[in-house]
Structure 1
Amino acid sequence: MDNQDLQKLVEDISLRFFNKPFRHIAFFNSRLRTTGGRYMLKSHDIELNRSYLEQLGEQELIGIIKHELCHYHLHLEGKGYQHRDHDFKALLKQVDAPRFCSTLPNRPEKKSSTTIRVYKCSGCSQLYRRKRRIDLSRFVCGKCRGKLVEIHV
């Protein structure tokens, strides 16, 4: 499916489920990673993640399109278009659109190994465990104002 086919699909879904035309642009955005789609408030365009079509199929993509069209039509009508709004939740239920998209099965995993740095005060031997590095020229011990030294564990 290319962007022209996607545009036609979005226009068809808009007419079939919302009885309103979609008059803007829908396209695949290869930079989307954590979401299935995005409605742009200023341009009124809809960007979609191609990975959802490739990994989960056309039905999942149609659900995402319905979800983004809910944002689109409610925003243009001046009604509540955000996830927390009653109008949005009611329209989602009416057109049978998902509130959130499914998780991709082949999604790259986050780095889970977090380095814990340990610092020791040269004055009172107080230990500090931190995930982020401390600038040793700026910070001192909070207990005795002594100089901190990084300990490699």
Structure 2
Amino acid sequence: MNDKQLQDMAESISIRFFLKEFRHKAYFNPRLRTTGGRYLLSSHNIEVNKLYYEQKGLKEIEGIIKHELCHYHLHLEGKGYKHRDRDFKELLRKVEAPRFCSPLSNPGAKRKAIHYYKCETCGHLYSRKRRIDLKRYVCGKCKGCLKKVKNKVDLE
């Protein structure tokens, strides 16, 4: 699917479900990461995350477009277009648009490393998301020196 097909889809969904024309642009934005799509208040355009089409398919894109068209039409009419507004919630129910996107599977996501430290004096074990400077920090229990431990098995 390309931007032209997405534009055509947005226009047809707008007429079919909202009985109103969509007169602005709908396009894929490759920089979107945490959301399925967004309605831009200043330009009235709709941006869609292409990963949702690649992973979830056409049905999910249709739901995202419906959701963003709810924002679009309510904003242009001067009604409550925000997620918390009653007008928005009612229109979502009326056109059967999803409130949220389904989560993407992200196999390439970077796993956070966990760093393990052990006190050389008392043997207290620490696990941290961030590395710590061993010259600067000491054990909180006995003020002993800390030693980096390679993995969790070495902690015991």
TM above 0.5, one fold?
Answer: yes
Q: Report what 1:128 is aligned to.
A: 126
**Residue 73 (str. 1) matches residue 73 (str. 2):** yes
**Residue 43 (str. 1) matches residue 43 (str. 2):** yes
Written as runs of structure 1 = structure 2, the 5 A alignment for 1:12-51 is 12-51=12-51
Output the amino acid matched with 2:88.
Answer: F
TM-score normalised to structure 2 length: 0.74
- C-alpha spacing 1:42/1:139, structure 2 compared with 1 (3 Å): farther
- C-alpha spacing 1:93/1:114, structure 2 compared with 1 (3 Å): same
- C-alpha spacing 1:115/1:43, structure 2 compared with 1 (3 Å): same
What does the per-residue CA deviation read over 1:64-101, in whole Å, with 9 as the maximum and x for residues that have no partner?
A: 21111112222334433333332221110111112223
Q: Which whole-Å CA distance do the structure 2 matches of 1:19 and 1:133 have between them?
A: 57
Three-state SS of the structure 1 residue aligned to 2:67 is helix
Output the amino acid matched with 1:129.
Answer: S
Q: Report what 1:142 is aligned to.
A: 140
When structure 1 is superposed on structure 2, of 28-37 and 133-142 the one drifting more is 28-37
RMSD of aligned C-alpha atoms?
2.8
What does the per-residue CA deviation read over 1:104-124, in whole Å, with 9 as the maximum and x for residues that have no partner?
A: 5xx332658654432123344
Q: Which whole-Å CA distance do the structure 1 matches of 2:28 and 2:37 have between them?
A: 9
Structure 2: gaps of 5 or more residues: none
Q: Which whole-Å CA distance do the structure 2 matches of 1:116 and 1:56 have between them?
A: 32
Three-state SS of the structure 1 residue aligned to 2:47 is strand
Written as runs of structure 1 = structure 2, the 5 A alignment for 1:55-134 is 55-103=55-103, 107-109=105-107, 115-134=113-132
- C-alpha spacing 1:136/1:44, structure 2 compared with 1 (3 Å): farther
- C-alpha spacing 1:10/1:112, structure 2 compared with 1 (3 Å): closer
Q: Which whole-Å CA distance do the structure 1 matches of 2:53 and 2:145 have between them?
A: 56
Q: Which whole-Å CA distance do the structure 2 matches of 1:95 and 1:108 have between them?
A: 29
Q: Which whole-Å CA distance do the structure 2 matches of 1:98 and 1:41 have between them?
A: 20
TM-score normalised to structure 1 length: 0.75
Output the amino acid matched with 2:128.
Answer: R
- C-alpha spacing 1:137/1:85, structure 2 compared with 1 (3 Å): farther
Q: Which whole-Å CA distance do the structure 1 matches of 2:129 and 2:45 have between them?
A: 40
Three-state SS of the structure 1 residue aligned to 2:139 is coil
Shift of residue 103, structure 1, vs aligned partner: 4.5
